[in-house]
Amino acid sequence: MAVYHLLLSTPPSLVLPPSPRRPSFTLIRRIPTHPRLGNSASLFSSSSPVIRKILVRSTLREDPVSPDAESPTLLIGEDSAAFELGKQKLASWVYFGVVLGVVLFILNVVWIDNSTGFGKSYIDAVSSISGSPEVAMLMLILIFATVHSGLASLRDIGEKLIGERAFRVLFAGISLPLAMSTIVFFINHRYDGSQLWQLQGVPGVHEAVWVANFVSFFFLYPSTFNLLEVAAVDKPKMHLWETGIMRITRHPQMVGQIVWCLAHTLWIGNTVAVSASLGLIAHHLFGAWNGDRRLAKRYGEAFEGIKKRTSVVPFAAIFEGRQVLPEDYYKEFVRLPYLAITALTVGAYFAHPLMQGASFRLHW
């Protein structure tokens, strides 16, 4: 099986000459023009913001590809989790550190500190709706989900009105305290519900739960790794990712959240855990539908092309032959963001007692 590298600046139609080892077929078809992505020439130029890779790897199979068939190996979207140390600017990361420090300080004063913030009052108000921790848990998730998905749906309008950076600050400024309140409430009340089963003493359960939780963090949506965009140091963009975890599932955040929820529900085994899991899974199922809708609206035919070669259900597109993995697919995970995720996930496991102690001291 031969592997060839093709420059993205190659003309839209390229026919490789036949040889004893390589059949003759059309490798690249002209991609339709889209108003947001521009014409096919600009789409596949080396300077295109849509495609970062200059080289595309195309795997030739034993059976020749029909001249009219779409190439399953031609990248349409962006290379996810790509991080080139040589292109990083020290000033940008210093600025990121300053922004992070300011955000944490404001969050502490306005929300976390019970003497000055509104966090405890918010939790008390939601809890007063019902004496049930299960209902309070669902209400907190519902409020967060409504705000988070609602603002995401308004992104195009918001960015036109106030700009990309200002809208990101607004989005994060509202979502972050609501998310933190939901997490702290879950930590503090995770054992308040009625016990449905108890498997914590069963051999192998702890190890299985640990592995499931560890794997779930590798399903983070690739935009999470763009910390400079998350903090609005760089101008935030709505990316059309295609490589890495996106080859396995088009909605990795949803899959990772489901795995996390199932693992924690299995371990805790009570009604609060079930309530939290149902709320979070429902939110991410809606997020998957809403995410596809927003990407289709933003990128049109380019997104439809990626949609055809990916799947919501993990590995489905691969098993169906719609997604062809490169021979060196593992290299799409041997990158700094995933190495950082590995270290942070292991560190978070050992930091569980610290997180639980910090949450308990808030009395939320």
In a domain, 189, yes or no: yes
Residues in CB range of 154: below 8 A, 6 or more apart: none
In a domain, 53, yes or no: no
Q: Note the pLDDT of residue 5.
A: 37
Which residue has 């098993």 as its token pair?
319
pLDDT beneath 50, residues of the chain: 1-69
Which residue has 């993995």 as its token pair?
325
Strands 14-15 and 3-7 come out as unpaired
In a domain, 321, yes or no: yes
Query: How far apart are alpha carbons 74 and 306 in whole angstroms?
Result: 10
Query: How far apart are alpha carbons 160 and 156 in whole angstroms?
Result: 6
In a domain, 24, yes or no: no
Query: How far apart are alpha carbons 125 and 137 in whole angstroms?
Result: 12
Query: How far apart are alpha carbons 123 and 331 in whole angstroms?
Result: 44
153 neighbors 167 (Cβ within 8 angstroms): no
Beta bridge partners of 26: 15
Q: Note the pLDDT of residue 73.
A: 61
Of 52, 31, 9, the C-alpha closest to 237 is: 52
In a domain, 77, yes or no: no
Q: Tens digits of per-residue pLDDT, 143-193? A: 999 999 999 999 999 999 999 999 999 999 999 999 999 999 999 999 999
How many structural domains are present in the chain? 1
Q: Note the pLDDT of residue 84.
A: 87
Alpha-carbon separation of residue 29 from 34, 52, 70, 126 (angstroms): 15, 19, 7, 56
Q: Tens digits of per-residue pLDDT, 37-76? A: 444 444 444 444 443 333 333 332 333 333 333 555 678 8
- Can you give the residue range of the structural domain that contains 279? 85-362
321 dihedral zone (left: phi>0; alpha: psi -120 to 50; beta): left
In a domain, 21, yes or no: no
Beta bridge partners of 14: 28
Q: What is the pTM of this model?
A: 0.79
In a domain, 325, yes or no: yes
Query: How far apart are alpha carbons 287 and 280 in whole angstroms?
Result: 10
In a domain, 3, yes or no: no
Query: How far apart are alpha carbons 199 and 205 in whole angstroms?
Result: 7
